[in-house]
Structure 1
Amino acid sequence: MLSYVILGIQRFGARKVEGLLVAMIAVMCACFGVEVFMAKPDIAKIIDGLVVPRIPANATVQAVGIVGAVIMPHNLFLHSALVGTRRIKRSESVRKASIREANFYTTIESAVALLFSFIINATILIVFADIYSMDRGNTSIGSMVEEHLPGLIEAAELLRGAFGDIGPLLWAIGLLSSGQSSTATGTMAGQYLMEGMMRMRVSPWLRLFISRSISLVPTMLIGVLATSYLDQLDEWLNVLQSLALPFALIPTLKLAQSHVVMTSDFATSKYWRAFGWVTAAAIIALNVYLLLPLVFMLAARSFLSACAAYASFGLYLFFVGVLVLDSTD
C-alpha cells in the first residue's frame, strides 16, 4: 500500500518523492543510531576498522554482500536518471552552465545517499557485533550466541535481551522504513530503465501491481517454508547485487566518458575516469575473490559440477570483458 502512496506522491514531482525518501532514511538513521548509542561500542576500534579495513577469512561472503547492499546496481541508473528531473534552463547562453549545475548537485546527492547507506549498514554491524561480544553473564544472550550465530529470526530476541523492549521496536521501525525506501527506489529505477532504454511506457501503478503480483508468491513461500535459510538467502541476495554491479557500473562509466553520447562539454574528465575504473576493478576483483573458492569447491565434487562451475565463472568473466572492451564511440 505504501508503495502506491509513494507513486501517488510522484505525481507532484520528483522532489516530493526525494523528500519522502530522505525522511525514510532519517528514520533508519535515528532508529539504528539510537541502538548504537545504547550499545556503547568501542569508538577506537570502529575508527581502526574504518582506517584499516580487514576481511576475516570466513567473512568474504558478508564483505561482498555489504558492497552489494550499499551500492545497489539499479540505483546507479536511478541516480543517473535523476539529473533529468531537474529544471534545465533552455536558453543557449546559460544551458551548459545549467546542466553543469544539475550534474554538480546530483553528484552531491548521490554521494550523500551512498554515505548514509554505508552508515546505516555500519550501524547494524556495530550493534550486533557489540551484542555478540557482550558479557556472557547475560544468559539470554549468552545461550543464544553459544548455540549458533543468531540471524534475522533471533534478532528481535537478541535486541530485547540487550536493550529491553525498545530494542526490537527500533529494529522493526528501521527495517520497515528500509524495505519501503528500497521498494520505492527499485520501482523508480525500473521506470527510468523501461522508458529510457527500452522505450516502453507503462503506468507506474500497473508495473508495480504486475511486479509485486509476480514476486509476492515466491517471497511468501520462502518466508513460510524456508525460515532456516533466510539468513543465507539474504546474504546471497546482496552478493548477487555485488556480482551484478559490473553490468551496471561499466556501461555507466563508458557512457559518461563518451564524447559521442555526452559531447565534449559533459564527458567525464580523466581523473573521474581513473577513479571510476579503479573502483570498478576493485569491485570485480572482490567478486572474483569470492567466486574462485566456490568454483574450486564445486569442481572438486564431480566432473559435471566442475564443468558447470568453470563454465559459469568463464561466462561471467567473458561478459564483463565484453563490456570493458566494447567501444561506445
Structure 2
Amino acid sequence: MGRVTERRRVLRIRDGAVSTRPDTLVAEEPLEIRLNGKPLAITMRTPGDDFALAAGFLVSEGVLGAAEELANIVYCAGATDGGSNTYNIVDVRLAPGVPVPDIALERNVYTTSSCGLCGKASLDAVRTTARWSIENPEEPDDPAGPRVRLEPSVLSSLPDTLRASQRVFERTGGLHAAALFTAEGELLDVREDVGRHNAVDKLVGRALQQGGLPLRDSVLMVSGRASFELAQKAVMAGIPVLAAVSAPSSLAVDLAAETGLTLVGFLRGSSMNVYAGEHRLALRTTAGRA
C-alpha cells in the first residue's frame, strides 16, 4: 500500500545561506474507483482509507446509503501493472439487488484533488438523488425545531481542534482535513487528504461502513473553502451543518439555502459568516443585521 508521506531532497535558502536537506512531502497517487468491475472514476488522493474514500464517493453519487447495500471492496491489479497489485485500483461490489443509478452506469468520471467531480454543478442532481432530507427552516422535520442546535462559541472552537488533530499536516504542511463533530464540539472523526473532497469522502465512507448514515446529529468542519461539491456531500450524507475556515462558493450557498443546510464560512476565532441555515444557531441578539 502506498505511503502517506515521502522524502525528497530540497535546496534550502535562508537569509542568503544555501543548504540541502531532506523534506517530508505528502504523497499523491491516483486511485481508480470501479463499480461492479466497471471503471467509474479516477481521483488523485493521499493513500490510506481507500475503501472508505470509495464508499463515501458512492454515497455522494447516490449509489450507496447503508452498509448492507455494500457487498465488499477489494484492491485489484491494472492491465498495465503486469498482474501486480499497486493498491491504486479499488473495485466496489454492490449487494445483490441494489440498483445502479444511470448516472453511474453511463459515464466515466475523472476527478482531481483540487476540484473534485467536475461538471456536476447541478442543484437538480442533488435534489433527485438525496436519500435524506435536511430540515428546512420553513418546513422543519421536527415541530420542536432542528435536531442540531449550535452555540457560536462551539463553532469557534472547531478550527483549533481540527488543526490539532492533523497529524500528517504537522509534518508536511500539505494536506486538507475534514472532521465530524457533535453539536457540543466533541470530535468524532477526522481524515486528511491532499484533496478536500477526498477527506470528506473518507469520513462519510467510514460512517457508512459502520452503519452511521445519515449523520443528522453531526457538524462537518473542513479546512479551506466550502465548494458546491462539499455542500453536496454534506447533504447526501444527511449532515445538517457545514463549516469552513474560508469562503463558500455562490452555488454552495444556493444549495444550502434550498436544502436547509447550515453553511458557515470564514470561521476564524470568534468571527464567522453564516450564509444559510441560521435557524440552527443559538443567537443571543439580532442587533446589527442588515
- Give the TM-score category using the shorter length: under 0.3
**TM-score where L is the length of structure 1:** 0.24
Q: Tell me which of the two structures has the higher relative contact order, counting C-alpha pairs closer than 8 angstroms and 6 or more residues apart.
A: 1
* More helix per residue: 1
* More strand per residue: 2
**TM-score where L is the length of structure 2:** 0.26
Larger Rg: 1
